[in-house]
Structure 1
Amino acid sequence: MESLHRFSLRLLPISLAEKCSKPTTRLPISRLTRLYAPKSEFMNPYPHFTTRKSLSSSSIARAGWFRGMGQNKKTILPDIVKAGDPVLHEPAREVDPEEIGSERIQKIIDDMVKAMRMAPGVGLAAPQIGIPLRIIVLEDTAEYIGYAPKDEIKAQDRRPFDLLVIVNPKIKKKSNKTAFFFEGCLSVDGFRAIVERHLDVEVVGLNRDGQPIKVDASGWQARILQHECDHLEGTLYVDQMVPRTFRTVENLDLPLAEGCPKPGSR
């Protein structure tokens, strides 16, 4: 999520705070307009997957508000796949539980966590790095949350939580209550739109050790989980958005069109 951020989530609504943040501040992707530094072509670290065409024209995402700031030139991570690539628009396949402990799956998970944090963001799904497997990672920190206005944090019911790695997640709603908020996505750079999400969900799956895991989430964490699980079904937030709220990051502050739902819970 482009943060739901770099919302990401991620997924992630941008707050007005991003416009007055210091240039060197690393913000969650939900509130960061991503910038890219060109890099040379590198070998596919996942030879078992051939879901994408040649990476010769690709570039790697780097942390930092301006190009070149905060880069670690020795760190090479898989690219974030962009909208239009088939891997983002087709259902991912389940991971064989017996394979979760393998070096290959563990490397994919490690790379996902690094890419999410490097962005930085609050959520990432394996298809977003070109891997058609049902794996998601998410994390929201007090530092990320601290950049948002207090009234926005309260409205979104946003609280920090530790890193979660969920393999083969299955999600279900726990109530009919919903909320409308802006979301963004690393795979759809530079845009935001309002998306309606359930306020309370339950997710079950396996952790990175192959052990059962259950997450009862509400508020913003529930939104991030829904955004990332959508990726595993080949769904982007733009497939679920309120169409007339779609806008560039630069126009995020402009009034909503008449008839559009205002951000908040229902």
Structure 2
Amino acid sequence: MSFDAIPTDYSVARIVETVQQILGAGVLPPIIQAGHPVLRHVAAPYDGQLSDAELGHLIDLMRSVMHKAPGVGLAAPQLGIPLQLAVLEDQFEVDPEVAAVRGREPLPFFAMLNPRYQPLGTATAAFYEGCLSIGGLQAAVLRPESVRLDYTTLDGTQLERSFSGWQARIVQHESDHVHGVLYLDRAELRSLSCNAEYAARWSQPDIDRARQELGFLPDPAEDYGSGAGFPSVGK
């Protein structure tokens, strides 16, 4: 599936000014919501637009915003900054049954610049997913079960890492953000649920009931997984 997101029109000077305003405000910035154009533009590749100190402070701030939300990932565009930068961390305690179903293991904190991913193999899985920039909603998203992530570290090192299970889902969700893609672009829209309905009806580890009653991918031969939808990936 491809999307025709357009490149950001922010100049380097405007990006730097935006970052400096956010860092200088002295408070945690709000997470912008769907409808803001920056979420639909391809963010600028990071190539040294910020000083090392500014980049470090921005990453610390993003991590704090992610924790407060709470979420397991946050991309710079979600703060209104069109840079290909995201932070990821999953240390939440999860019910063992849910963790087993979704292949969810703790993900130590890391920041990634200019991320891109490719599927590893053909296996796919679907889980309910949410996003900190789409408040109050969740939907099932079919994604590759394992991916190879190519990204740049803060010191400029180019790395290649493999992820599977829920970690791969977080990587894909956050990488999509910096390329102007939201999870709803990939979602089964008939699965779309508000948080209250999700909690009341579809919060079991298995999504079979939601699939059957809401009528998405009704063919049981489809390679369609299961899972719960919180905390938000976007996240």
TM range (shorter): 0.7 to 0.9
* TM-score of the two chains, using structure 1 as the length reference: 0.67
**2:33 counterpart of 1:82:** yes
More displaced stretch, 107-116 vs 227-236:
107-116
* Residue 186 in structure 1 maps to residue 129 in structure 2: no
| Separation in 2, partners of 1:217, 1:100 | 29
Q: CA deviation at 1:76?
A: 1.2
When normalised by structure 2's length, the TM-score is: 0.75
State which of 65, 75, 100 in structure 2 corresponds to 1:125: 75
SS of equivalent residue, structure 1 residue 264: coil
For residue 258 of structure 1, report the CA deviation from its aligned partner. Answer: 4.7
The alpha-carbon deviation at position 264 of structure 1 amounts to 1.4
Q: CA deviation at 1:80?
A: 0.3
Aligned AA for 2:185? D
C-alpha distance in 1 between matches for 2:111 and 2:79: 15
- The verdict on how the C-alpha distance between 1:100 and 1:158 changes in structure 2, with shifts beyond 3 A counting, is farther
Q: Choose which of 156, 166, 180 in structure 2 pairs with 1:234.
A: 180
| Matching residue of 1:34 | none
TM-superposed CA distance for 1:75, in Å, is 6.6
- Aligned equivalents of 2:106 and 2:152: distance in 1? 21
Matches within 5 A, 1:66-145: 76-96=27-47, 98-99=48-49, 102-141=52-91, 144=92
Deviating more after overlay: 117-126 vs 193-202:
117-126
Within 5 Å, which residues of 2 pair with 1:116-265?
Answer: 116-141=66-91, 144=92, 146=93, 148-252=94-198, 253-254=200-201, 255-256=209-210, 257-261=213-217, 264=225
Q: SS where residue 56 of structure 2 aligns? A: helix
Q: Contact between 1:101 and 1:208, CA under 8 Å: does it hold in 2?
A: no
Counterpart of 2:155 in structure 1: which amino acid? D
The 5 Å alignment of 1:48-67 reads 48-49=17-18
Paired residues of 2:145 and 2:168 also in contact (CA < 8 A): yes
Q: CA deviation at 1:106?
A: 2.3
Deviations 1:135-162 (A, max 9, x none): 1110111xx1x2x322211010000121
Counterparts of 2:106 and 2:154, CA distance in 1: 21
Residue 178 of structure 1 deviates from its aligned partner by: 0.5
Structure 2 Cα separation of the partners of residues 105 and 258 of structure 1: 44
What is the CA deviation profile of residues 25-56 of structure 1, one whole-angstrom value per residue up to 9, with x for unaligned ones?
A: xxxxxxxxxxxxxxxxxxxxx75239xxxx9x
Distance (whole Å) between structure 1 residues aligned to residue 16 and residue 30 of structure 2: 15
Local SS of the residue matching 2:18: coil
Instruction: Provide the secondary structure at the position in 1 that maps to 2:42.
Output: coil
Change (3 A) 1:199 1:176: same
After superposition, the Cα gap between the structure-2 partners of 1:102 and 1:75, relative to the gap in structure 1 and judged at 3 Å, is closer
Kept after mapping to 2: 8 A contact 1:195/1:242: yes
CA contact (8 A) 1:100 1:106 kept: no
**What RMSD in Å do the two structures reach over aligned CA positions?**
2.3
CA distance in 2 between partners of 1:159 and 1:258 (Å): 29
Number of residues paired by the alignment?
193
